[in-house]
């Protein structure tokens, strides 16, 4: 079940650079359902499901990491100084509940700025420590905290949680690998690392996988709330086939095949032109001598906040598209 899988992967600690727990969780779910598993030097989990002899190799990438705050120093009073790992905004993180790998909890606070623009340097995390020595028994420099897991339904179809970017795609790729039997094309599912700091995991995975074509699975922005109308995608209207973002112009053959797969599967989809952002698709496309690549997106509201909202109907649409896509002729 897509929703169960999603809830499982949303609950796991896994900021950028520390994705091992997510990889373990995915691996457990896929045990016995794939032909091979390997983990590379960057921590990517690479899962292969063999296709027919005349099939092509398709790399799918869904990134396991999500944004967080890394401890850079500890004040004498025991407050943690932090900076962002990935695009954490000061406004969205103020007075947020955060949690570390070892379960230590904290509150992100922004100190008075005396008229300056608020920056990450004004943030500190209060973990209730008495002083620096006490704080050091709980947290070390380099430890990373994330928005505390908090998953809830918003209406009938929608679900809100931190880490929806990109655990919804991790769930999707896991389900695809679980459900698909004897695919025509070989599926290499890359559960990638460090996307949020510049597609670092997918870059090296694309090199080692050396696929014939690639598809990134990621969230995209939303255009259906007051004053936000671009990208022109709406939650609940189907998965979005990316045409372009700041990192990539989707390779036409991949983009068109994704749309053809949606038509064939008889599920709704949307065309996405994103005026910002980037995905692992770019890392695949720019690998070696160039690889045809595209991105299938899940529209997501309030991306990089503690309440990232998606619509399960878009997830179902995406899964149907992918199941058809992997059996197409390339």
The residues, ordered by sequence, that sit 6+ positions from 37 with a Cβ below 8 Å of its Cβ are: 27, 30, 45, 46, 47, 48
Q: Judged by CB under 8 A, does residue 327 bind other proteins?
A: no
Say whether 195 is catalytic: yes
Contact map string, positions 106 to 135, toward other proteins, x by CB under 8 A: ---------------x--------------
CA torsion through residues 280, 281, 284, 286, sign: negative
Q: Judged by CB under 8 A, does residue 267 bind other proteins?
A: no
Contact 221, 302 (CB under 8 A): no
The site for other proteins, by CB under 8 A, has a size of 28
Q: Judged by CB under 8 A, does residue 75 bind other proteins?
A: yes
What's the CA gap between 63 and 279, in Å, rounded? Answer: 9
What values do phi and psi take at 227, rounded to 5? Answer: 70, -5
Contact 151, 132 (CB under 8 A): no
What's the CA gap between 163 and 88, in Å, rounded? Answer: 12
What's the CA gap between 195 and 66, in Å, rounded? Answer: 8
Binding span for other proteins by CB under 8 A among 73-81, 162-170, 229-237, 268-276: 73-81
Q: Judged by CB under 8 A, does residue 73 bind other proteins?
A: yes
Closest approach, Cβ 207 to other proteins, in A, equals 5
Contact 299, 235 (CB under 8 A): yes
Closest approach, Cβ 40 to other proteins, in A, equals 5
Q: Judged by CB under 8 A, does residue 270 bind other proteins?
A: no
Helix axes 2-10, 20-30, angle to 10 degrees: 150
Q: DSSP code of 118?
A: P
The residues, ordered by sequence, that sit 6+ positions from 164 with a Cβ below 8 Å of its Cβ are: 10, 219, 300, 308, 309, 310
Q: Judged by CB under 8 A, does residue 141 bind other proteins?
A: yes
Helix axes 312-325, 252-265, angle to 10 degrees: 110
Closest approach, Cβ 17 to other proteins, in A, equals 4
Binding span for other proteins by CB under 8 A among 91-99, 174-182, 200-208, 217-225: 200-208
Binding span for other proteins by CB under 8 A among 15-23, 174-182, 214-222, 304-312: 15-23
Of 48, 195, 308, 316, which is the active-site residue? Answer: 195
Which residues between 220 and 259 bind other proteins (CB under 8 A)?
Answer: none
Q: Which two structure tokens, joined as six digits, stand for 232?
A: 């022109």
Q: Which two structure tokens, joined as six digits, stand for 160?
A: 């809100």
Q: Judged by CB under 8 A, does residue 197 bind other proteins?
A: yes
Which residues between 207 and 226 bind other proteins (CB under 8 A)?
Answer: 207-208
The partner residues of 113 in beta bridges, in order of sequence, read none
141 or 153, CB closer to other proteins? 141
Task: Specify the 3-state DSSP secondary structure of 73.
Answer: strand
Closest approach, Cβ 268 to other proteins, in A, equals 37
Closest approach, Cβ 191 to other proteins, in A, equals 14
126 or 224, CB closer to other proteins? 126
Task: Specify the 3-state DSSP secondary structure of 301.
Answer: strand
Binding span for other proteins by CB under 8 A among 39-47, 150-158, 240-248, 261-269: 39-47
Q: Which of 87, 128, 142, 290 binds other proteins (CB under 8 A)?
A: 142
Contact 98, 195 (CB under 8 A): no
Task: Specify the 3-state DSSP secondary structure of 297.
Answer: strand
Binding span for other proteins by CB under 8 A among 205-213, 249-257, 311-319, 322-330: 205-213
Binding site for other proteins (CB under 8 A): 16-18, 20, 40-42, 44, 70, 72-73, 75, 81, 83, 85, 121, 140-142, 194, 197, 200-201, 203-205, 207-208
Residues labelled as active-site residues: 195
């Amino acid at each position: 079940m897509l929703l169960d899988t999603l809830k499982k992967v949303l609950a796991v600690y896994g900021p950028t650079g520390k994705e091992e727990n997510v990889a373990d969780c995915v691996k457990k779910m896929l045990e016995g359902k794939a032909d091979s598993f390997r983990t590379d030097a960057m921590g990517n989990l690479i899962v292969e499901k063999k296709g027919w002899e005349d099939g092509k190799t398709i790399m799918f990438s869904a990134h396991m990491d999500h944004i967080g705050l890394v401890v850079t120093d500890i004040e004498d009073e025991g407050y943690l100084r932090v900076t962002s790992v990935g695009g954490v905004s000061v406004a969205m993180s103020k007075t947020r509940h955060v949690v570390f790998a070892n379960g230590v909890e904290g509150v992100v606070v922004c100190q008075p700025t005396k008229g300056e623009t608020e920056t990450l340097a004004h943030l500190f995390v209060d973990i209730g420590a008495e002083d620096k020595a006490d704080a050091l028994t709980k947290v070390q420099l380099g430890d990373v905290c994330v928005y505390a897991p908090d998953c809830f339904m918003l209406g009938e179809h929608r679900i809100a949680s931190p880490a929806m970017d990109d655990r919804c795609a991790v769930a999707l790729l896991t389900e695809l690998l679980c459900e698909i039997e004897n695919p025509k094309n070989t599926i290499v599912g890359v559960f990638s690392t460090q996307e949020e700091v510049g597609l670092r995991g997918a870059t090296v995975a694309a090199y080692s996988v050396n696929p014939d074509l690639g598809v990134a699975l990621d969230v995209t922005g939303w255009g259906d709330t007051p004053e936000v109308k671009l990208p022109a995608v709406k939650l609940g209207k189907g998965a979005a086939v990316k045409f372009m973002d700041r990192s990539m112009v989707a390779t036409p053959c991949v983009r068109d095949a994704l749309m053809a797969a949606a038509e064939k599967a008889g599920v709704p989809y949307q065309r996405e032109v994103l005026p910002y952002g980037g995905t692992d698709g770019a890392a695949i496309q720019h690998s070696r001598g160039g690889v045809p690549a595209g991105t299938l997106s899940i529209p997501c509201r309030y991306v990089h906040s503690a309440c990232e909202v998606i619509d399960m109907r878009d997830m179902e649409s995406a899964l149907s598209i992918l199941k058809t896509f992997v059996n197409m002729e390339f």
